[in-house]
Amino acid sequence: MIGVLAFWIGALVIAAAALPIAFVLLRRFPDAGAGLTPVLGLVLSSYTYFILRTLHVLESGRGGSLLAVSLLALVGVVVARADRRFTATLQRIGPQAVLYAGIFTIAFFSYAAFRSYQSSIGGTEQPMDLMYLNAMLVSPEYPPHDPWLAGEPASYYYFGYLQAAMLTNVAGVPASVGYNLGLAAVFASSAAAVASVAAAVARWIFRTDRRRLVPVAASAAIVLLLFASSLIGIFEWSAAHETTSRPLYEAFGVENILPCEPDAGSEADCYRGGAVNRTNSWYPTEFWFWWRGSRVIDGTITEFPFFSFLLGDLHPHLTSIPLVLLALALAASTFRSRKPRSFATIRGQPFSCLAIAIVLGALAFQNAWDVITFAGLFVVAVMAVNLRRAPVTKAAVSTIGYTGPILLTAIVAYLPWLLDFHTAAGGLYPYVGTGTPPLEGFLQFGAPITASLALLAWVARRVPPGDWLRVAPFALWVPVLPLLLWAPLAAYHGELGNGLGARGAGGWITLALLGAITWANLTAAATLAARGRAAAIALAFAGLATLLLYGAELFLVRDVFYGSVPRLNTVFKLGYQAWILLAIAGGVGLASLLARGPSRMVGRLLAVPMAAILFLALIYPLLAVPNRTGAFSGESSTDGFAALARNNPAEYALVLWLDREVPASAIVVEAPSDSYSSNGGRVGSRTGRQTPIGWYFHEIQWRGSTDANHARLRAIQEKVDRVYNATTPDDLLAAVNDLDASYVVVGSPERSRYPSTSMTTMDQALDLVFEVGDVRVYAVPVRAVMSTS
């Protein structure tokens, strides 16, 4: 419990240190950015730590993290002293700052309590996430090393792991605890941030009824972002209790939940267990039934934030949620600016522009998929401000003069990471598959899209039709242009005929619906933006969200999955971005249903179906939480190694010994592993020590699926094979020295992969320095290294 409290206090201290900077960046916000200080402070302090480590000013350890936070606090004090309005702003927003700290606190401790009942770090990609967290903590040099590819720097967008490491160091807890509390901090930061953004937009829109509607918008946004889910929950519950209709399940594309038909072959995707295995309670007790909620649309990943927090992978798409919300806040605040933005603005506000550059650059460093979307949105917000005060040409020149230097600064600021970053992405390709059936799309995104449409309906009753008609022809180009680009791109790849033929009627209907909703939202947004009306912000968020979904129906980013499930990651990443945008727009939209006005009765009528859909969206979390936690039974712990200590004390002792006795720069040989193995690559994952090769497929994802990379990684695997297959001391020493290794681990994974490993040869050539149960660690004698070098 002390570790949990230390983590919470550390997060709030970092947030408090960033408060003066938030006042400068987000002064237009009603709360002056108070709800966004947890993420702002963590981004700025983590970036400071990263740069100082890269410049060899700091060494690894807790002291460097504390110094980075101290520097943030010092900058905050300087900014506060230079800001003549700081005291007045602090007095004005003080109660709101306390409120957002309360939201953060409730969310943090609630999630930490939830996570304590399934705290084990294993399965899916959690070993990889722990590996990067440990790399941030123990790497003797920065940029950090890759524990699964000794001698190489990390090649991934790892800023989220660095932020978790910052909090872990500040709190003084081990990585196995910091992992789980890092998840809690992301959850809490997301709750506070989305409430802040939604509340700000609602306050700007509902000026005459803000006391009543602002809390509604903020609360609804929290629910839509962190709790609302796919509508699949009701189908899972009905199937578990055998009250189903096969035609209905087939219509929504979820017949795989139903029991297999008697004549179903072995390849059929259906439920093969008995009824007794599905549930013995009011909720489905089938093991991980909720996993199917992440595969609603065939051939894709359809995660949403609640699923991600339920699963517990400390992955970039999850850790980036608060940062994305911060970027959205910057765009919204910029749109509300009274003054145009140009190069002169940079000369007058250099500190603010530098801070904005660090935030926008962090989008790529934390989750590379986000940078184009949300840095692009910031540029559009600047252009919108400038267009209100200048003709198009002059506004464009001013926009370039302002955003160009900021984006260039962002690139320069993150060069130490960019120079080591490689990707397996192979460019933009046309999607020529069947498309998403409309009912499957509704099952996945029905709740947030429907909620956002409430705002569109509210605005439509308040804007003269003539204003819409003047803008609509220009806004139509937004959905039409991607379609016009898709056709020649598909023809260039020789896929136009396949693309036109493969997309079924359902796929075209989905495309048309998304295009129409995008058109309507952006028409309304552009109409209101010309007047400087705040509703344009929420409508632009909604329009961008459906545009992302629309784009995922036409294009894909080619990656290592292209040959099997080509748009797996494209739908996943863009759909996730869309969910965040729709949570804000939907929160404001749900509040609009309660707005007073001449069409109040219409709002009340719309509230009924909206409430029904939202209720359906909350069934999934209601069922999934007790399933994931075992109905909150059993032992609870925030230590991700608690189960390891109980179930495999030898491996747990290995972790403790390596942490205590082995230098962070040492290379430790362990068995190579397939990806997604909880025990594979466990030395690199659990300790951050460098190992020759860990998860092969993931290294290919991070560094590119080229012949040269495959050959290099296979060669390393063969070198490791030589270590464990050696039959003479000389061969063993030669193999170990070829890897420049200092230690060799022999445990269950090694004995399983190399059953013929000779312990006699190990004993003769190496020094046994650790033995607990069936786990051994051998050190390479210094004399042996010298004699073969």
Residue 693 zone, left/alpha/beta (φ > 0; ψ -120 to 50; rest): beta
* Whole-number pLDDT of residue 468: 85
pLDDT band at 783 (very low <50, low <70, confident <90, very high): low
pLDDT band at 208 (very low <50, low <70, confident <90, very high): confident
**Average pLDDT score over residue span 195-217:** 91
Does residue 445 carry a pLDDT above 60? yes
Q: Which has the minimum average pLDDT: 2-16, 62-76, 158-172, 692-706?
A: 692-706
Residue 145 zone, left/alpha/beta (φ > 0; ψ -120 to 50; rest): beta
356: nearest Cα among 13, 20, 12, 22: 22
Residues ≥6 apart with Cβ < 8 Å to 106: none
Q: Are strands 428-430 and 743-746 parallel, antiparallel or unpaired?
A: unpaired
pLDDT band at 787 (very low <50, low <70, confident <90, very high): very low
- With vertex at residue 188, the alpha carbon angle to CA 186 and CA 191, rounded to the nearest 5 degrees, is 110
**In the chain, domain spans:** 2-228+315-418, 233-288, 431-596, 648-788
* Whole-number pLDDT of residue 404: 97
* Whole-number pLDDT of residue 532: 87
Q: pLDDT per residue over 164-194, tens digit each? A: 999 999 999 999 999 999 999 999 999 999 9
Q: pLDDT per residue over 237-284, tens digit each? A: 999 998 888 999 999 999 999 998 888 887 888 888 876 678 989 999
Q: pLDDT per residue over 599-631, tens digit each? A: 566 667 778 899 999 999 999 999 999 999 999
Which pTM value belongs to this model? Answer: 0.96
CATH of domain 648-788: 3.40.50
Q: How far apart are CA 408 and CA 297, in angstroms?
A: 38
State how far the alpha carbon of 17 is from the alpha carbons of 13, 43, 85, 169, in Å.
Answer: 6, 12, 17, 17
Q: pLDDT per residue over 653-675, tens digit each? A: 999 999 999 999 999 999 998 88
SS3 153: strand
**Percent of the chain that is helix, strand, coil (3-state, to 5):** 65, 5, 30
Q: pLDDT per residue over 565-597, tens digit each? A: 999 999 999 999 999 999 999 999 999 998 866
775-779 sheet: strands from edge to edge: 668-669, 743-746, 775-779, 767-772
Q: How many CA atoms lie within 13 A of 668 on its CB side?
A: 31
* Whole-number pLDDT of residue 560: 86
Does residue 446 carry a pLDDT above 60? yes
| DSSP label at residue 148 | T
SS3 673: strand
* Whole-number pLDDT of residue 600: 63
Q: Are strands 555-557 and 775-779 parallel, antiparallel or unpaired?
A: unpaired
Residues ≥6 apart with Cβ < 8 Å to 465: none
Amino acid making up residue 123: G
SS3 495: coil
* Whole-number pLDDT of residue 789: 44
Q: pLDDT per residue over 92-113, tens digit each? A: 999 999 999 999 999 999 999 9
- With vertex at residue 705, the alpha carbon angle to CA 702 and CA 711, rounded to the nearest 5 degrees, is 105
Does residue 786 carry a pLDDT above 70? no
SS3 390: coil
pLDDT band at 598 (very low <50, low <70, confident <90, very high): low
Q: pLDDT per residue over 729-768, tens digit each? A: 999 999 999 999 999 999 999 999 999 888 899 999 999 9
The answer to whether residues 323 and 42 touch, using CB atoms and an 8 Å cutoff, is no
- Provide the strand spans (E) within 159-203: none
What are the φ and ψ backbone dihedral angles of 743, each rounded to 5 degrees?
-140, 155
Amino acid making up residue 23: F
Q: Are strands 668-669 and 743-746 parallel, antiparallel or unpaired?
A: parallel
pLDDT band at 788 (very low <50, low <70, confident <90, very high): very low
Does residue 641 carry a pLDDT above 90? yes
pLDDT band at 690 (very low <50, low <70, confident <90, very high): very high
Radius of gyration of the chain (CA): 27
DSSP 697-711: HHHHHHH---HHHHH
For the chain, give the mean pLDDT.
Answer: 94
pLDDT band at 155 (very low <50, low <70, confident <90, very high): very high
pLDDT band at 209 (very low <50, low <70, confident <90, very high): confident
* Whole-number pLDDT of residue 604: 72
The proportion of the chain whose per-residue pLDDT surpasses 70, expressed as a percent, equals 98
Q: What is the dihedral of CA 168, 173, 175, 179, to 10 degrees?
A: -60
Amino acid making up residue 770: F
